[in-house]
Amino acid sequence: MSRPGWRYLPAGALLDQLADAHDHLAYQEQIRLDVLRNQLLLLDGKQEEGMRGLRTLAEQAQERANFDLAAEIWRHAAESLARTGGENQPQEPAT
């Protein structure tokens, strides 16, 4: 059921519209938007770029001792690769 005046946009276009609000969001919400952006890269066949972005986000979360968020990012990376049939497996850095 659609609401009057609502348009359906691709996920990438919606993320682009949220770019201006990015700096006004809480840290975890910023990261979640960036995770979505990188997941879209994976779905678009840009596995190296998408995984590089997800790895960077997970490492940043780990450096901030936000281990729950880091684990969430690694989980999203693994699930995204499984859905896209990716051969590159996410590798957590050695601790």
Give the residue carrying structure tokens 């890269």.
41
pTM of the model: 0.69
pLDDT for res 80: 82
Per-residue pLDDT for 3 more than 70? no
* Average predicted confidence (pLDDT) for the chain: 78
Per-residue pLDDT for 31 more than 50? yes
- The CA–CA distances, whole Å, from 63 to 68, 76, 89 equal 12, 18, 21
More confident residue, 26 or 7: 26
- Residues 27, 71: Cα–Cα separation, whole Å: 16
Beta-carbon neighbour count of residue 43 at 10 Å? 15
Per-residue pLDDT tens digits for 16-30: 666 667 677 788 888
Read off the pLDDT band of 11 (50, 70, 90): low
Per-residue pLDDT tens digits for 52-85: 999 999 999 999 999 999 999 999 888 888 887 7
pLDDT for res 42: 86
